[in-house]
Amino acid sequence: MSSERAWQAGHRAARPWLLATARVGCAMGALAVLQLFTGSAFPLALMVHALGFATVIVVLVVSARSANRAGRSG
């Protein structure tokens, strides 16, 4: 039973972080589509995509750590 509780606690703790990841990913996807239709691929836009990708990776790591911490304590 504690395993199920830990699983639920971990998912509850990670949810806000995962939603933030989804929002950043959607924003980067929308920017990519906009770039595709406007034909702009200037270096600043590429840097924004790289920053968005890095943000997604960092937030996923934070969500995993948060879920792990909540699972161990819950």
The residue segments making up the domain with residue 52 are 2-73
Would you say the C-alpha torsion 16, 20, 26, 30 has a positive or negative sign?
positive
Token pair listed for 65: 């750590």
Q: How many structural domains compose the chain? A: 1
pLDDT by residue, tens only, the chain of 74 residues = 368 888 899 999 999 999 999 999 999 888 888 887 887 767 777 788 889 899 999 999 999 999 999 988 86
pTM of the model: 0.78
